[in-house]
Amino acid sequence: MSTTLHLGTRKGHFAIEKNGSGWRVARSSFLGVQVPMLLPDARDNKLYAAVEHGHFGTKMHVSSDGGATWEERACPAYPSKPEGTPDILCPMRQTPIPWNLEKIWSLEAGGADEPGVLWCGTIPGGLFKSTDGGATWNLVESLWNRPERAKWFGGGYDWPGIHSICVDPRNSKRVVLAISCGGVWETLDGGETWDRYGKGLFADFMPPGEEEDLDGQDPHRIDACVSDPDTVWMQHHCGIFRSKDGGRTWQRFENGNPAVFGFAVAVHPQKPETAWFVPGVKDDMRVPVNGALCVMRTQDDGKTFEPLRKGLPQEHAYHLIYRHCLDVTPDGRTLAMGSTTGSVWLSEDGGESWTRLSAELPPVFSVRFEKAGP
Amino acid sequence: MPLVEFTPNLARQTSAEACRVEGSTVGESLQAVFAKQPGLRSYVLDDQGAVRHHVVVFVDGTAVKDRRTLSDAVRADSEIFIMQALSGG
């Protein structure tokens, strides 16, 4: 079982370790600076951190000792905008989409057979790939130049962003990613070409007749089952969906208990029929239903969903669990989640019961276990 | 040679030592600084080479006008100061 949990927060990185007396905050890094995304790379035990300075932009740092010491690496940067290239305007607000890195919103390792390959999803919607462990990054122009990008728009932030990147463990060239708002995309050739999918997704917020437009979908987060990557669960702005064909087609579930709105989703690494969510009141409220925090689990492929409340606050609790703030260990037993109000909980029984590790941390943006290498 | 100085808040994040460089514009002066301290560039300029949204460049006490191509002129005895904008960030 993993014994280190990494948190990226509004005020830095925190490592939480398990020792004889339980889990405790062991150390911090970049104190005072936003850390929107972390990646513990199981292939070589490197830890990557996106560090977002309020004034001086985002930088990438890497650690070889679990966050005790860091060195700055190259950060994904958009290439010079070619002279004469017209701006793409946000379809909602008619303002130009930036050609600058606004935020690193996802960071994933390539396959076990691709040492050094890293994927980075950003706001305003650019995907970056590194083949040298983050020494250099290149914008994946095959996706950035797709004409459909003109229809993408901001969901969680002002500009569209890539928040979920799923590398197929069976075939590292196959990558499925999700964009808020811009739907679900797949490459079968390591990023050379892309197709967009999403039949069955439904965006209630779109104008009548446009609800099934693939480019207007707002997946909040997708997660593929490690042992069955064709099973992908999605927490969408308009509910919960699940695909059994790698993201091409989706089934909608409206039987969430207590709700189908939320941001985070985690899939059991060995059991594709099991997934966890953190439900909330849609969508202008974004608080736990009745002020009672719960994690919601299905163990029967969506036939039923059950709220798991033991150990979680049930009165006047207004925690929001962002999309990258729920993680599960490879054995499917240990889960962790962090909230916008600086609480972190851990469950060592598949979500049945939870223990609060801290209520004193900054707002949490990213929760990731160190996972054992291959 | 203009003198280029930086807010101490920037020096806490990366190498940002004050230095005198050749340059007749803000852009030429900053490029000369970045040649000496390459890690500094991305802290001051965005991906397209414009001054970051929450960074301000002063020349002799006046904020520069051209934040995109950095064409404001500097004199041989000018002082260029890089600070964080109080607007946010």
By C-alpha distance, which of A282, A275, A246 is closest to A261? A282
Q: Which of these ranges, A21-25, A45-49, A216-220, has the smallest mean pLDDT?
A: A21-25
Give the pLDDT score at A182: 97
Nearest CA in chain B to A57: B43
Q: What is the mean pLDDT of residues A182-197?
A: 98
Residues from A contacting B (CB-CB < 8 Å) are 53-57, 59, 72, 75, 77-81, 99-101
Asked whether the beta carbons of B74 and B59 are under 8 A apart, the reply is yes
DSSP type of residue A85 = P
Give the pLDDT score at B36: 93
pLDDT at A355 over 60: yes
Across the interface, whether the CB atoms of B85 and A55 are under 8 A apart is answered: yes
Q: How far apart are CA A46 and CA A338, in angstroms?
A: 22
Q: What is the nearest CA distance from A130 to chain B, expressed in angstroms? A: 17
Q: Which long-range contacts (CB under 8 A, 24 or more apart) does A10-16 make?
A: A10/A34, A10/A362, A10/A363, A10/A364, A10/A365, A11/A362, A12/A362, A13/A38, A13/A49, A13/A67, A14/A361, A15/A66, A15/A67, A16/A344, A16/A357
CATH class assigned to A87-253: mainly beta
Please list every residue in chain A whose beta carbon sits closer than 8 Å to the beta carbon of residue B48: 78, 80-81, 99-100
User: In residues, how long is chain B?
Assistant: 89
Q: A248-289 pLDDT, tens per residue?
A: 999 999 999 999 999 999 999 999 999 999 999 998 899 999
Identify which of A53, A56, A99 has the shortest CB distance to residue B47.
Answer: A99
Nearest CA in chain B to A30: B13
DSSP characters over A250-304: -EEE---SS-SEEEEEEE-SS-TT-EEEEEE-TTTT-S-GGG---EEEESSTTS-
Give the pLDDT score at A291: 96
pLDDT at A72 over 80: yes
By C-alpha distance, which of A85, A128, A81 is closest to A103? A128
pLDDT at A374 over 60: no
Looking at domain B3-84, its CATH superfamily turns out to be: Beta-grasp domain (3.10.20.30)
Neighbours of A61 (CB within 10 A): 21
Across the interface, whether the CB atoms of A55 and B42 are under 8 A apart is answered: no
Give the pLDDT score at A43: 96
Give the pLDDT score at B88: 65
Q: Give per-10-residue mean pLDDT for chain B (89 aa).
A: 93 89 97 95 97 96 96 97 82
Would you kindly state where each structural domain of chain B is located, as residue ranges?
3-84
The pLDDT mean for chain A works out to 96
Across the interface, whether the CB atoms of B89 and A54 are under 8 A apart is answered: yes
Give the pLDDT score at B85: 87
Q: What is the mean pLDDT of residues A193-212?
A: 95
Give the pLDDT score at A373: 54
Phi, psi of A23 (to 5 degrees): -85, 140
Q: What is the nearest CA distance from B53 to chain A, expressed in angstroms? A: 7
